Amino acid sequence: MKLFLRKHLAFCVSFFLLNIETVAGHGESNIFSDDEESTLDDKYIVIFEETLNDISVSDGAMSTEDVTSWTDDLVKKYNFEKKNVYSDAIYGFSASNVTRGDIEALRKEQGVLLVEKDGIVTIDVIEDKRNGQKRKMEANCQRRQRNTPWNIRQVGWQNVEKNERFKNKRVYVIDTGIAYLPNVLNIDTELARNFLSDEADDRSWEDCNGHGTHVAGTIAAKRNNCGIVGVASGATVVPIRVMNCFGQGKISDVVAALSYVTKTANVGDVVNLSFGGKVENGQKIMDVAVQMASRRGILFAISAGNDAQHSRDYSPARASGNGIYTVCALNHNRKIARFSNYGSPPIDVCAPGKNIPSLSLRGGRYSRSGTSMAAPHIAGLLVFGPLGNFGSVMSREDGISYTYTVPRLV
């Protein structure tokens, strides 16, 4: 487990299986841009210093009223347009109509920790070439498949649906939402939320992209006719939607989602973050948000990245703290997948991530690759408690040898 770090972190976010875009849309690896033509050029995220003082649920550093009041004062002072207010573990707000002069002034305001630009993320999914046409793939599931997928055989699985021990255990999937598939997924529809600020209905948590549903299936699917089954089969999943049907979202909305999860999750609940990105300009909001939430006793499974590079330059993959696990991807032969990021620290564990079959939007079988697909295996294992050591794998990159733990259900 990595030691907790508070300083010298940086931030940039995109889904793994995502293509990071600059807000100007030039396809660079850093989504933060100073391009004045960017659609998010005047949108920023402000985090208060009290965020670092928040330790426990019972003794929070700021009340919701305090955060709202402070936010409203700054919004009025600088003539901002308020977007999100963060009042649980992460304290601050996001706003538009922010000028360059405002940024410098804000950073000098007493009690302000971070002022960072908002950005856009876009999904770029790696599909399994064997999927074929969706219609044909779905039809193949009409004949019951009894074989457990290779990845689940490697990690192990258990049906927890009627086990009282897991009655109050939940796994939050911060992603594109989850398809409403009551026959194969136990979804907490009361806690489910949509944090897309461009959509008026915050209850529209259902997936219309497929990424989040695939992740949820690996974590908790009940066995279906396609042979799909989750690591913690029948566990309760909570859809937290931060990406739209086209696979696009905003960093400020992801931070709002993490704030909400911090407020509603119980100690020992699990969060899957199959997203992240390479750092360019020294931003750190996502790292801080994850680390503050983990101090509340929430467990995290985080994708390491798909660029075959060292994960120390990726966020939130390098976020450190008790209960935070960064995950690299393995292939069928229990070797590090060619696309997977590497480096320990920050990587803690590895799990299957190459050609992973899981749920499609209609409840069928669909395969994808990436560390996005590796992380939910660990999220499923965390439902059961401390990870069991199934052995280790090694890789040699840049002349350095790395050894990674490969957990399994024990």
Residues serving a catalytic function are 175, 211, 372
Please report, in angstroms and rounded to a whole number, the separation of the first and last CA atoms in the chain: 19
Helix (H) or strand (E) holding 150: helix 150-155
Q: How far apart are CA 282 and CA 127, in angstroms?
A: 32
| DSSP assigned state of 383 | T
Using the structure block, give the residue that is written with the tokens 């020294």. 282
Q: How far apart are CA 173 and CA 152, in angstroms?
A: 19
Neighbours of 182 (CB within 10 A): 10
Say which residues have a Cβ less than 8 Å from residue 116's Cβ, sequence separation at least 6.
Answer: 11, 32, 44, 45, 47, 283, 284, 285
Q: How far apart are CA 164 and CA 204, in angstroms?
A: 30
Size (the chain), residues: 410
User: Is residue 15 within 8 Å of 243, Cβ to Cβ?
Assistant: yes
Q: How far apart are CA 19 and CA 27, in angstroms?
A: 8
Of 92, 94, 120, 87, nearest to 260 by C-alpha is 87
